[in-house]
């Protein structure tokens, strides 16, 4: 005996709905970019789009992973104590993040140029599913362009917008990632089919070869022209890098001067004290700090803008000061600056606080700290973003 299974299941209904044709718009609306015939140029072909899409997608994925690492450094979560080693960890991950983000610019633009004729195909949508696919391109394209544009502007520290860049960049990353994952899921079968064709089946054309070589050359050029702000051997080639890592007070750049931070008077006040709130509260003068055991550490300053520079820092170990104040070894602490506003304070987890290389620095390369580098006292520790190497210290307190 045979029983007929019901065909009116939710999945069947969904498939039927997505395949439902949509009415074609009136021909009178076929204007501007829609009023063009389809291009058979190989540069706009599916194989070119697939190859460039893979390259651009890989670059954006690397940016996402390294961006998450940067976010966890700057906005630590209570359940994860970011390790303090390797010393150069943040220098590498953030350098890769910025270099890959810059390299993604020509890749994304080339990808968009390759597919733009199909963005204006007529009719705009064949069925409901095709219309949804087209609509889902909006968060991907808009998100990718937003991320690349704001990231580039951040490199030169120009913020012509009212929002806080790190928060907007973080949110934009997930919008772009969601759009990318959906797009890859939809286009993966087509991309595999075209990218996997043999040359005999689809001979390489001069136009496609020129496009791919041009995109590759652009990636190489922008990388060489900017990566020298992190990779010292490329310094002489990096004519477009916004920062030279050897230019600045005491041979290291600064993002914010003491004057712009409005701390000159407080930092140079003879009555300055480092207040440590603990079971045994402290109020340490510069002379008190000088009498404590002094240590040296060669550590980099690595900033979110992509530049990094190393120096020999001298001062008191943070853990020694915490011990003097009776602060437990497993405590999370916060160092607070004389500066006001964003990043006035920064948290230090137990690993970083107890690392012997984490210093309350008073000297750089054997000389007293320049005012712009955080005089009279700054935090310097391994595997930390430059924005969290807090300058002009005034207070240390326990936060958990």
Question: Domain locations in the chain?
Answer: 38-197+208-237, 250-398
- Return the SS3 of 380: strand
Interatomic CA distance for residues 393 and 273, integer angstroms? 9
Query: Position of tokens 């001979």?
Result: 203
Interatomic CA distance for residues 179 and 215, integer angstroms? 23
- Return the SS3 of 152: helix
Residue 314: partners with Cβ closer than 8 Å, 6 or more residues away: 294, 295, 296, 359, 361, 362, 363, 364, 366
Interatomic CA distance for residues 292 and 284, integer angstroms? 10
Residue 196 pLDDT: 55
Interatomic CA distance for residues 134 and 120, integer angstroms? 10
Q: Is the Cα torsion angle 318, 324, 325, 329 positive or negative in sign?
A: positive
Count of other CB atoms within 10 angstroms of residue 228 = 22
- Return the SS3 of 232: helix
Evaluate whether the domain defined by 38-197+208-237 bears CATH number 1.20.950.
yes
CATH node for 250-398: 3.90.420.10
Q: Is 284 left (phi over 0), alpha (psi -120 to 50) or beta?
A: beta
CB 378 within 8 A of CB 360: yes
- Return the SS3 of 124: coil
Crossing angle of helices 206-224 and 46-74, in 10° steps, is 20
Count of other CB atoms within 10 angstroms of residue 269 = 11
Count of other CB atoms within 10 angstroms of residue 343 = 15
Residue 1 pLDDT: 47
Residue 127 pLDDT: 86
| Closest-CA residue to 92 (of 113, 65, 130) | 65
Q: What is the mean pLDDT of each run of 10 residues along the chain (400 residues)?
A: 56 78 84 67 78 94 97 91 95 96 97 87 84 90 96 93 94 95 78 55 75 96 94 90 92 95 97 97 98 97 94 98 97 97 93 98 97 98 97 96
Interatomic CA distance for residues 279 and 349, integer angstroms? 18
| Closest-CA residue to 397 (of 274, 295, 288) | 274
């Amino acid at each position: 005996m045979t029983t007929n299974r019901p065909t009116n299941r939710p999945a069947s209904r969904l498939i039927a709905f997505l395949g439902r044709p949509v009415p074609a718009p009136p021909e009178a609306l076929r204007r501007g970019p829609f009023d063009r015939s389809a291009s058979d140029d190989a540069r706009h072909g599916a194989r070119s789009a697939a190859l460039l899409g893979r390259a651009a997608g890989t670059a954006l994925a690397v940016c996402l992973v390294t961006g998450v690492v940067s976010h966890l450094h700057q906005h630590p979560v209570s359940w994860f104590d970011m390790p303090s080693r390797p010393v150069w960890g943040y220098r590498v991950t953030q350098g890769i993040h910025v270099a890959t983000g810059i390299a993604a610019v020509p890749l994304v633009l080339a990808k968009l140029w390759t597919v733009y004729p199909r963005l204006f195909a007529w009719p705009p949508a064949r069925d409901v599913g095709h219309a949804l696919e087209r609509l889902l391109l909006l968060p991907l394209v808009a998100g990718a362009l937003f991320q690349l544009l704001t990231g580039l502007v951040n490199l030169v520290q120009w913020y012509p917008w009212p929002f806080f860049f790190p928060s907007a960049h973080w949110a934009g990353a997930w919008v772009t990632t969601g759009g990318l994952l959906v797009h890859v899921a939809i286009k993966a079968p087509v991309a595999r089919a075209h990218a996997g064709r043999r040359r005999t089946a689809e001979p390489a054309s001069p136009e496609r070869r020129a496009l791919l070589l041009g995109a590759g050359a652009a990636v190489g050029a922008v990388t060489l022209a900017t990566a020298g702000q992190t990779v010292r051997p490329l310094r002489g080639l990096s004519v477009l890098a916004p920062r030279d890592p050897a230019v600045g007070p005491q041979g290291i750049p600064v993002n914010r001067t003491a004057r712009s931070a409005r701390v000159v008077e407080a930092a140079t006040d003879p009555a300055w004290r480092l207040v440590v709130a603990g079971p045994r509260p402290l109020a340490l003068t510069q002379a008190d700090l000088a009498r404590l055991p002094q240590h040296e550490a060669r550590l980099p300053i690595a900033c979110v803008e992509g530049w990094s520079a190393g120096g020999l820092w001298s001062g008191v170990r943070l853990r020694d000061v915490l011990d003097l104040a009776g602060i437990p070894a497993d405590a999370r602490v916060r160092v607070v600056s004389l500066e006001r506003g964003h990043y006035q304070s920064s948290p230090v987890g137990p690993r970083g606080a107890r690392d012997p290389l984490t210093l309350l620095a008073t000297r750089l390369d054997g000389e007293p700290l320049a005012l712009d580098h955080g005089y009279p006292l700054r935090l310097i520790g391994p595997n930390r973003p430059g924005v969290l190497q807090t300058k002009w210290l005034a207070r240390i307190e326990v936060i958990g």
